[in-house]
Amino acid sequence: MNLNTIVDVKRPKSFEEIEWRDGHAFLGGGTWLFSEPQVSTDTLVDLERLGWPALTVTPSGLEIAATCKIVELHDFKGPPEWRAVPLFDKCIDCFLMSFKIWNAATVGGNIVMSLPAGAMISLTAALEGVCTLWPQNGTPREVPVVDFVTGMHTNVLQKGELLRQIFLPASALTKRFAMRQVSLTHFGRSAALIVATVEDNDYDFLLTITAATPRPVHIRFRKTPSAKELHQAINERLPPDAWFNDVHGSAAYKRHVTFYLAEQIRAELS
């Protein structure tokens, strides 16, 4: 849609060029920004010309620029020892999206939206991602993805603070994984998107619960748990009022399918 409150679009080539004030909004792919009126925004700050490389492989892991498009992540082929890379496509497929969103939406835009069904949140939280945030007039800071999202459409970003990148450590990318997702309708938003990762010797089993809860939840076990231990841990961590109730599924439904899918994942990885 046309945003008739916008009077200026800035296209900075460096972060230092940005002079932030109220009324500014960072523009990623624009798929959400242009999907509804933005009455309190008069200026878009387009991130594209900052020219960040979309994906950078380093010995310690993968740097995903906030401006990396969903389609670029989809096309990524990692080193063979990064066994969790196929999870990228599996999470991307959970995104309710059109051709336009697939090609325009950015990984950073999805994470900053901080919706429970944000598939890039599920992916990067499950792979122990760490966000680099650039505040206005401050020192860059790092926040794990699992702590970045604080609730439905809320996160730790301060005014004018930019999500620069998400780093996925090689230690998580080399783990085995299993994933399950359900939606109430065939192409609907996720009601639950659950991932677990584990090392070869059954050590460091990490369960990540998303979409069923307002924010991502990690439950970590030293070794792959038994069915009983897993059930008990989810129960203790997430009381009945901790589940997310919306048109895409009631809290009771999401709680029920989470237990069901988490056990499937545990059995698959055992």
**Residues in touch with ligand FAD (CB under 6 A):** 25-33, 35, 47, 66, 95-98, 101, 104-106, 108-110, 112-113, 115, 117-118, 162-163, 189
Largest CA distance in the chain: 58
C-alpha distance from residue 25 to each of 11, 153, 229 (Å)? 12, 15, 45
Q: Which residue's CB is nearer to ligand FAD, number 32 or number 253? A: 32
Nearest distance from C-beta of residue 77 to ligand FAD, angstroms: 22
Joined together, the tokens standing for residue 195 give: 């991932």
SS3 260: helix
SS3 152: coil
| Residue in the shown chain whose Cβ atom is closest to ligand FAD | 109
Joined together, the tokens standing for residue 116 give: 């429970």
Residue 95 contacts residue 104 (beta carbons within 8 Å): no
Nearest distance from C-beta of residue 73 to ligand FAD, angstroms: 11
Q: Which residue's CB is nearer to ligand FAD, number 22 or number 268? A: 22
Q: Which residue's CB is nearer to ligand FAD, number 170 or number 188? A: 188
Kindly report the CA angle at 195 between 191 and 109, in degrees rounded to 5? 65
Q: Which residue's CB is nearer to ligand FAD, number 97 or number 219? A: 97
Phi (first) and psi of residue 9, to 5 degrees: -125, 115
Nearest distance from C-beta of residue 176 to ligand FAD, angstroms: 26
Nearest distance from C-beta of residue 220 to ligand FAD, angstroms: 25
Nearest distance from C-beta of residue 41 to ligand FAD, angstroms: 8
